[in-house]
Amino acid sequence: MYKLEVSSPGKVLIVGGYTILNPKNQGIVVTTKARFHVRIEKYDDGVEFILSNFNHEMIQYKYANNEKYLILHKGNSNKYIDACIHVVSWFLDKPLSSMKIYLNADKEFYSFVDIVPGLPAVMNKKTGLGSSATLVSSLVAGILKWNDSLAQGKLGSGFDVAAAHYGPLLFKSCISLKNIALNDLTKSWAHENSEEFKDMIFDWPKPLSIVMGDVSGGSSSPSMAKSVIAYNNSNEWVELEKRNDVTIDLFKKLLECSRKEKQFHSFCENFSLGRFDLCPEYFVDLMNALKKGFQDIRIALKKLGELANVPIEPDEQSERLDSILEIDGVLGAGVPGAGGYDAIFAIAMSDYARDQFPEIQVMETSVVDSNGLQFE
């Protein structure tokens, strides 16, 4: 094999922030057009990485004294790359083939608002689309494929890695990842051939779209999660779980409607324009219930954040989201995943609704990609 290319998509967790950490809870995660790309080529001396987003920085690993595992030879250590090559080496139980690996993330993973003078744009704050999970997913898949045949070190549910592999999901973890052992790593998705797993994967219903707003914030999801998880027995947490469950059930009805209703597209367009008389009553009721569901989740998340003293939905984000929700045809809006000062999301029911967005930096990745990991 002379050259191999693989990529995986970014993610947006629109329902399930924090509560997804409990394996009994579901969440809704969608994937975007923004992707992390890995290209692998032949090489003669160890394993060399070229980080295209960081001035083509080079990291090189070599085998020392005929040992089985690679050690850092040149460049600065990267914890995600280190973890990937060592876990894959452990999994294969043999030395990796020599290869040169180019890593490149689409620009939507990085904020272009308030760019720091003199610093490459892509080295500014991240937008919260899951660049770490897409890097790990693409890199591990690429190295395994190249050699014929995870790794973030944080509290998490695994929804981001699952989305990077499979695309949009009604995600539910099979096991707790809090103290997971390496040999248990694959158990989260060991059921992928089961009917339960097949029900988790869905195609995003068109003409709905996810619009992402770049607000140039940046938050530490692991530290926020550790603070919030301490309140997982609080009334605020239980209320958030209830509201998530209600909204997920409504979203499932939306998916069913999009599959069975031949006029779904026109109903969405008419609803966006306020032509409710041209939509069946059940559709109007469903859309209004979903709008309320997303708003109820926002309120519950903000209360939980205040309890834990964590800025899940800071006041600045609340102002932006409130203005977006005044637009006709916006089904819901919020702070994805752990929230904070990362990007914000909104669900637009039509192109008309998308065109009405206020002056926020709308990211080009504002399209849902129903594909997961891809070999190209």
Query: For residues 123 and 128, which has the higher predicted lDDT (pLDDT)?
Result: 128
* Residue 313 near residue 260, CB atoms below 8 Å: no
Angle in degrees, CA 6, 7, 13, rounded to 5: 155
Closest by Cα among 256, 252, 251, 280 to 268: 280
| DSSP per-residue codes, 52-115 | TTTTTEEEEEEE-TT-SSEEEEES---HHHHHHHHHHHHHHTSPPPPEEEEEEE-GGGB--SSP
CA pair distance 24, 232, nearest whole angstrom: 13
* For range 62-68, the mean pLDDT: 72
Smallest Cα–Cα separation from 49: which of 88, 103, 89, 85?
103
Distances from the Cα of 217 to the Cαs of 167, 220, 306, 347, 354, in angstroms? 26, 10, 19, 21, 22
DSSP character at residue 292: H
Q: Any idea which residue has 């898949």 for tokens?
A: 141
Terminal CA-CA length for the chain:
13
What pTM, to 2 d.p., does this model score? 0.79
Residue 210's DSSP bridge partners are 347
CA distance 109 to 119: 16
Average pLDDT rounded to a whole number, residues 156-180: 62
Between strands 169-171 and 57-63, the pairing is: unpaired
**Least trusted range by pLDDT, from 107-116, 152-161, 210-219, 224-233:** 152-161
pLDDT above 70 for 360: no
Class of domain 3-201: alpha beta
Q: Does pLDDT of 302 surpass 80? A: yes
Query: Which of 301, 259, 267 is CA-nearest to residue 286?
Result: 267
Q: In 105-135, which positions are buried (b, 16+ CB within 10 angstroms) versus exposed (e)?
A: bbbbbbbbeebeeeeeebebbbbbbbbbbbb
- Selection from 35, 76, 148 nearest residue 376 by Cα: 35
Question: What pLDDT, on a 0 to 100 scale, did the predictor assign at position 269?
Answer: 95
Q: Is the pLDDT of residue 54 over 90?
A: no
Most confident by average pLDDT, 65-79, 87-101, 107-121, 226-240: 226-240
Average pLDDT for 193-209: 75
Cα separation, 215 vs 226, whole angstroms: 24
Given a cut of 50, whether residue 186 has pLDDT beyond it is no
Average pLDDT over residues 231-244: 94
Q: Is the pLDDT of residue 180 over 50?
A: no
Please name the CATH architecture into which domain 209-362 falls: 2-Layer Sandwich (3.30)
Mean pLDDT of 281-289: 97
How many alpha carbons fall within 13 Å on the CB side of residue 15?
31
Domain boundaries, the chain: 3-201, 209-362
pLDDT for 93 beyond 70: yes
List all residues 6 or more positions away from 117 whose beta carbon is below 8 Å from its beta carbon: none
H helix intervals, the chain: 79-92, 131-146, 159-166, 195-200, 221-229, 235-260, 264-272, 281-308, 315-325, 351-355
